[in-house]
A and B are shown apart, each in its own frame.
Chain A
Amino acid sequence: MSRFFATGSDSESEESSSADEITPKAPGTTLKQSLLLSDDEEDTKRVVRSAKDKRFEELTNLIKTIRNAMKIRDMAKCLEEFEQLCRAFLKSKNIVDKEGVPSFYIRLLADLEDYLNQLWEDKDGKKKMNKNNAKALSTLRQKIRKYNRDFETEIAAYKEVSRKSFLPPLTCSSSESEGEAGGVSAKSFLKKKPDEASKSSSSGEDDDDDDDDEGWSGESKESDSESSDGEAKRQSMAESFLKYVLFLILTFKTWESRKHIEEEEEDGGEEGGEGWEKVKYGVPLEKPKMFAKGTEINTTVVVKKLNEILQARGKKGTDRAAQIELLHALAAIAAEHNLGQGILVKIKFNIIASLYDYNPNLAAFMKADMWKKCLECIDELLDILFENNNIFIGENIAEDSENLAVSDQPFRVRGCVLTLVERMDEEFTKIMQNTDPHSQEYVDNLKDEGRVCGIVDRLLTYLENKGSTEEICRVYLRRIMHTYYKFDYKAHRRSLGLQGETKSEQDQEESEGEDSALIMDRLCKFIYAKDRTDRIRTCAILCHIYHHALHSRWYQARDLMLMSHLQDNIHHSDPPVQILYNRTMVQLGICAFRQGMIKDAHNALLDIQSSGRAKELLGQGLLMRNMQERNAEQEKIEKRRQVPFHMHINLELLECVYLVSAMLLEIPYMAAHEFDARRRMISKQFHHQLRVGERQPLLGPPESMREHVVAASKAMKMGDWRTCHSFIINEKMNSKVWDLFPETQRVREMLVRKIQEESLRTYLFTYSSVYDSISMEILSEMFQLEMPTVHSIISKMIINEELMASLDQPTQTVVMHRTEPTSLQNMALQLAEKLGSLVENNERVFDLKQGVYGGYFNRDQKGGYQQKQGGYQGGYQGGYQGGYQRGGYRNQNQSNY
C-alpha cells in the first residue's frame, strides 16, 4: 500500500471517496452474498449486522477525515482524529472480536504509519512545519507505533498482499475460464474473487464479512490504477501471478466445495500447503477449513496435516501465533475423532515446540502468558502420559518407526518430554531474570514456581518408571535446582518440636511431606552413584552443600565440600557452575558463622569479599565499572547467567557476616601484634573499612552496617565489650542483618559470647603491660563471663605464648611476666633486622665482584635462622610466637627477595 501512496495521492482520494460511496451500499452486497450463503449461517449473522454497520460507518468516516488531514499535512487534526478513531475502535470492540479487525482499519494504520515515517524522514519538510504540527507529528508517530504493535501481524499481512495487489486484473481474465469450468457464472466469480482475496489481505477477517467488500473495493480500484502503469512489472511477476491465480482458484473452489460440490475434496485437503497457510488464519475454529468437509478424519490424514503445518515452521513470514492456533485446532480435531493418545501426544509435542519457537531469538524471554500456555500444555501432556501407560516416547525413535495409530501395539512417539521441561524451566528463569524484582508482576510470576516444581515432580515420577538413568539424573538435577535454595521451614519447626497446636489443617497437611533434606539426600546420592557427566554431579554436590549449609548442618556441608575437592578444579568449569560454587561457599561461610565458627566463616567468605566483586561473583548483578571492557554481546551472555532475584543471597548480610568475623579475628590479633612491624593483615577489606572510618573528619553515630561494625571494632580495641555489643546488636542491625537468619536468637547469643571472649583477649593484650597481676574474678565480672571460661581463655593464651603470664591458682589471679619488649627494644630489633638485610645485600654485591656465590652467603643456611620456617608461613593460625624471633623476621625478609 505504501508504494501506492508514494506514487501519488490520486488513488488515495479515489479510495477514500469510494470507501464512502460503498458504505451505504453495504446491505446490498450482503443481499447478494446472502444468496450464496446457506440459511443457517445467515441467521447467526443477521442480528449483529446493523450494529456492526453503524460502528464501521463511524470508523470509516473518521478514517476519511484522517486521510484528508494527511493530504493537507495537518498533523494536529490527524492526531485528534486518530485519537477519536482509537476510541471508536475500542467501542466497537465486541464486534471486532466477533468479526476480526476490519481491513480498512488495518489499512489506515499501515498507511498512517508509513506516511508519518515518511514525513519524519523528510527533514526539510519537518523544518517548514509549524510548531504545533511538528509536535503533533512526533506524538502521533509515537502513538501509532505503540498502537500498531497490537496489529503487527495483520499489518504485515496487509503490506504483503498490497504488494501483490496489482495482480487482480490479470487474474480476472485468466481465472474466468477456470471459473466457468467450476460451473459458476463469471460475474459471480468476479464478485466473489475479490472477496476471497480480501480475506487473504486482511487475514484476520471472517469470510462472511460484508465489510470485506467495502474494504476490498477500495483496494481493487487502487490496483486498477496501478495496473495501468504496471505492464512491465506484470511481465516480470508473471510467475508469482500464476501462483496467485492458482491459489485463488483453489480457495474459491474450496469455498464452493464447502457449499455444494463434493468432488473437490482433495484440493481442499491440500489447501494449507505451499506456504499459503495465512488464509487459514482466524478460521481454526471451524474445523472444516482444516479438512474438507466429509473427509474421513483418520490418523494418517491428521499426521499429514501436521507435517504440512510443521513444514512452514521456521520459514520466513510464517505467522507463529497462527501456527500455534492451527496446532491447537488440530489437537482438538484429533481428540474429537478419538484418534488415540499417540497422535495427541505427537501434536502436543509440536505445540510446545512451536510455543518455544514463538520468540525469534534465543536471548529474548518468552512472554509470561505464552509461557503459561506452555506450562498448561506440558501439564496436559504429562496427564496423557500418566493415563496411558502404553506410550513410548523418546528422542531416538525414528520418525518412520513411530506408531501413532490406535492398535494393539503400544504407541511410539518421537520426542523428549524432559527436554521440553528443561526448556520450560529455563524459560521460567529467563522470565524471572527479566522481570523487575520489586514489582507485583514478579510475585505473580514467582507463584508459578510451584507449578514448575509440580511438573518437575510429575516428570520425575514418570521418568523414574520409564526413563534411562541419564534422564533420571537430569530430572533429579532439575528437582534439586528447585529445592536447594529454599529453606525448609517445616523441617525446621519440626526439629524445634513446635509441631502441632498452633497450626491449621493445611499446614499440618503440608508438613506431612518429606523433609527437603531427605529429598536432597536421596536425589543427590542417586546422582553421585549413577551420573556419568561430571557437570551434573558437580552441580548436585554444590546444591547439596548449599542445602546443608542453609539448614545449619555445618559439619556435613564442610565434609562434603572437603571430600569433593571442588576447590581444586572448580576453575575449569563453566561460569554458571562457578557462580553456583561461589554461592555455595558463601552459604557455607554464613552457616559457619551461625555455628560460631568464626575462623571458618572468615576463610570461606574471604575469596568472595576480598575481590570487592561479590555481586558479580554471585551472579546477582553486573558491575557498572567494566562496561567499557565488554561489548553488548558479552553483556547479554553475562545477563543470562544472573541468578533470579528470589534466589539471591543478601549481600549486606554477607558483608556484615564477613566484617564481623574479620573484626572478631583481627582486633585481638592487632592488639597482640601492636609492635610487630611486619604483622600481616588478616582481612584487607576490614582494614579498609577501618581506614575509611578514621578518615572521617567528624564521627557521628553510625548509620550504615559498615559504620556499625567499624564503631564496634573501635570499642573492642579498648576491650569495651558492652559498647561493642550495643553497636553490633541493636535495632538497626537486627532489622538489617540479624533478623534474616532463621535462628536469630541463637545467633545473637553466640555473637554476644564471641564479643565477650574476644574483648577479653584484646583487653589482656592491650593492657597486660600495666598490670602486675589481675584477679580472674574481676575479669569475669568485667566481661560477664563465667570463671571457667575466663580461666580457659587465659590458659590458652598462656599456652600459645600470646600472654606472658602465669596463673596463680589459690588466689585466682593472673600474674604478668615482664617479657614484652619495650618499644625501644622493639625498635632495636627491627633495626637489627634491617641491618641484617642490608648486610646481605651488601654481600651480594661483594659476591658479584668475586664471581662466586659462596663464602658469606652460605652462612645463612648453616645457621639456625631458617629452621623455624614452617610455623610462620601458616599465617595467623600460628599466632603470636613470643617476643624475640630473629628467625621469624629473617624468613619474612627472605621471602621478599
Chain B
Amino acid sequence: RSSNWNGGYSFSSSSASFAVAVVMKIIKHYQEEGQGSEVVQGVLLGLVVDDRLEITNCFPFPQHTEDDADFDEVQYQMEMMRSLRHVNIDHLHVGWYQSTFYGSFVSRALLDSQFSYQHAIEESVVLIYDPIKTAQGSLSLKAYRLTPKLMEICKEKDFTPEGLKKASIGFENMFEEVPIVIKNSHLINVLMWELEDKSTVADKHELLNLSSSNHLEKSLQLLMDRVDDMSQEIVKYNTYSRNLSKQQQQKHQYLQRRQQENAQRQSRGEAPLPEEDISKLFKPPQPPPRMDSLLIAGQINNYCQNVKEFTSQNLGKLFMAEALQGQN
C-alpha cells in the first residue's frame, strides 16, 4: 500500500503506530492555532493492518468562530477525505486527536465523541497531545480507547449509580491506553542523527531545567478545581442517598401502619383496605447521574499521574544538581 513509503510500522490492533509526519502535523497545528488552554482537534486517517492500527495522516478541524455557526463539520470532513483520496492518501477514518492543557482531557465531550467514533469504527482511538510537556523536551502523545464495558454503558445510557455498579466500572477502567510506536523512515532517522550532531549543548539540556513551580502550580490549581467539583458531586450524591433512605423509612412506616389497620379491620370483620400503588405514593428521588463524577475522578487521577511523574523527574534533577554542587 501506498502508506509504506512513509515508513514501516507494525502493531497489533491493540496498539497504534504513527508516521512521524502525523506527529509533526499535530504539533504544527497546535503551534499555529492553539494557545494556552485552547484546544485543537483533528481527524486521524490510516488503516488497520492485521491487528495493528496504522495512522498515516491527519488533518485539523478548522477553528470555530462565531460568525460561521452554520459550518457543517461532517460535510467538511467528507470533502477533505475525498480530496485526500484523489491524491492517493489513506482516507480511512481511524480516530481523532486533541491537544490538552496540563493533562486535562477527561471530559464529557471527549467521552461522547470518542463513543460515537468507536461506535462507528471499532478500532478508532483518540490521540492526546500535550504541548506543554512537549515544549519542555519530552514528546507527550497518548492514544486512548474506551473500554468495552464503558462502551456498553454508553450505549445503554444508564448512568445511575446502580447501573455503574452493575457494570463494575471505575475511573481506572474507563479508558484503556493503546501503546504507540512511532515509525520513521530510514531517511528521517539519518536526518535526526545529523541534527543531533549539530545541535548545541544548551538545546539538548532543556530537560535539565530546574524551574518547576510554575508547572506544578498550574497542575495544582487544576487539580483543586476538580476536587471542588468532586466535592459537589459527592454532596449531591449524599443528599440523594439521604433522601432515598428517608423515603424508604416513610414507606416502611406506611406499610406497617397499613398492615396494622388491616389486621384490626380483619378482627372486626371488615374488608381489608384496597391495595394502593405504593410507588405512586412515594416517588423515588431522581438519582444523580454518576458519569460526571466518574469522569472527574478519572481526570483527578490523570492530574495526579502527571504531578507524580513531573515531581519524580524533578526530584531526580534536584538530586543531580545537588550532587553537582557538592562536587564544585
Determine if B234 and A848 form an interchain contact, defined as CB atoms under 8 angstroms apart. no
Contact of A824 among B220, B230, B237 (CB under 8 A): B220
Q: Does B315 contact A (CB under 8 A)?
A: no
Residue of A nearest to B226 (CB): A834
User: Which of A831, A841, A844 is in CB contact (< 8 Å) with B220?
Assistant: A831
Contact with B along A636-654 (1 / 0, CB 8 A): 0000000000000000000
Q: Tell me which residues across on chain A come within 8 A of B234, comparing CB atoms.
A: 838, 841-842, 844-845
Least Cβ–Cβ distance between A835 and chain B, in angstroms: 6
B107 at the interface (CB under 8 A from A): no
Rounded to whole angstroms, the CA-CA distance of A827 and B224 in the bound complex is 9
Interface pair A838/B213, CB less than 8 Å apart: no
What residues of chain A lie closer than 8 Å to B224, measured between beta carbons? 827, 830-831, 834
Query: Assuming the A-B contacts A828-B220, A831-B223, A831-B224, are A848 and B245 also in contact, with contact meaning beta carbons closer than 8 angstroms in the complex?
Result: yes
A893 closest partner in B (C-beta):
B231
Q: Contact at B230–A838, with CB atoms within 8 Å?
A: yes
B213 contacts A824, C-beta separation under 8 Å: yes
Q: Which residue of A lies closest to B244 (CB)?
A: A848
- With beta carbons under 8 angstroms apart, the residue of B213, B216, B221, B231 that contacts A841 is B231
* Contact pick for B238, options A823, A828, A830, A848, CB 8 Å: A848
A24 CA to B160 CA, complexed, in Å: 110
- Hey, what's the 0/1 contact readout for A445-486 against B, CB within 8 Å counting as 1? 000000000000000000000000000000000000000000
Tell me whether A845 and B238 are in contact in the complex, defined as CB-CB below 8 angstroms, given that A834-B228, A837-B231 are known contacts.
Answer: yes
Tell me which residues across on chain B come within 8 A of A830, comparing CB atoms. 224
Q: Which residue of B lies closest to A847 (CB)?
A: B238
Q: Does A311 contact B (CB under 8 A)?
A: no
B216 and A824 form a contact (CB under 8 A): yes
Give chain B nearest CB distance to A831 CB in angstroms: 5
The answer to whether residues A824 and B231 also contact, given A831-B224, A848-B242 and a CB cut-off of 8 A, is no
Q: Which residues of B contact A84 (CB under 8 A)?
A: none
Return chain A residues, CB-CB under 8 Å to B216: 824
Range for the number of chain A residues in contact with chain B: 10 to 19
Is B217 interfacial (CB-CB < 8 Å)? Answer: yes
Q: A881 at the A/B interface (Cβ < 8 Å)? A: no
**What's the least CB distance linking A224 to chain B, in Å?**
89
Count of B residues near A, CB < 8 Å? Answer: 18
Q: Which of A829-857 contact B (CB under 8 A)?
A: 830-831, 834-835, 837-838, 841-842, 844-845, 848-849
**A896 → chain B, closest Cβ, in Å?**
11
Chain A residues, CB < 8 A from B228:
834
B3-34 CB contact bits vs A (8 Å, 1 = yes)?
00000000000000000000000000000000
Establish whether residues A834 and B238, one from each chain, have CB atoms under 8 Å apart when the complex forms.
no
Residues of A within 8 A of B180 (CB): none
Give Cα A823–Cα B237 distance, bound, in whole angstroms.
33
Give CA–CA (A828, B217) in the complex, Å.
8
State whether the Cβ of A822 lies closer than 8 Å to any Cβ in chain B: yes
A842 vs B217: C-alpha distance when bound (angstroms) = 26
Residues of A within 8 A of B245 (CB): 848
Q: Please name all residues of chain B whose beta carbon is closer than 8 Å to the beta carbon of A834 when the two chains form the complex.
A: 224, 227-228, 231
Q: A831-B224, A834-B231 are in contact. Are A824 and B217 (CB under 8 A)?
A: yes
User: 1/0 contact trace for B236-259 toward A, CB 8 Å?
Assistant: 011001100100000000000000
Which residue in chain B gives the minimum CB-CB distance to A835? B227
Is B320 positioned at the interface, with any CB of A under 8 Å from its CB? no
Q: Do B227 and A845 touch (CB < 8 A)?
A: no
Residues of A within 8 A of B220 (CB): 824, 827-828, 831
* Complex Cα–Cα for A827 and B220 (A): 7
State whether A838 and B238 are in contact (beta carbons under 8 Å apart), knowing that A824-B220, A827-B217, A828-B220 are contacts in the complex: no
Q: B102 to nearest A CB, angstroms?
A: 14
Provide the residues of chain A in CB contact with B223, threshold 8 Å: 831
Q: How far is the CB of A752 from chain B (nearest CB, A)?
A: 40
Which residues of chain A are within 8 angstroms of B238 by Cβ–Cβ distance?
A: 841, 844-845, 848
CA distance A828 to B230 in the complex (A): 17
Cross-chain contact A827 with B242 (CB below 8 angstroms): no
Residues in B with CB closer than 8 Å to A848 are 238, 241-242, 245
Task: Write the chain B residue with the least CB distance to A834.
Answer: B227
Residues A176-219 near B (CB distance < 8 A): none
Question: What's the minimum C-beta distance from A842 to chain B, rounded to whole angstroms?
Answer: 6
Cα(A830)–Cα(B245), bound, Å:
34
A842 to B297 CA separation, bound complex (whole angstroms): 13
How far, in whole Å, are A583 and B227 apart by their CA atoms in the complex?
A: 48
Across the interface, name the chain A residue whose C-beta is closest to B212.
A824
> Could you write out 28 A-B pairs with CB less than 8 Å apart?
A822-B213, A823-B213, A823-B217, A824-B216, A824-B217, A824-B220, A827-B217, A827-B221, A827-B224, A831-B220, A831-B223, A831-B224, A831-B227, A834-B227, A835-B227, A837-B231, A838-B230, A838-B231, A841-B231, A841-B235, A841-B238, A842-B234, A844-B238, A845-B238, A845-B241, A848-B238, A848-B241, A848-B245
Which A residues contact B (CB, under 8 angstroms)? 822-824, 827-828, 830-831, 834-835, 837-838, 841-842, 844-845, 848-849
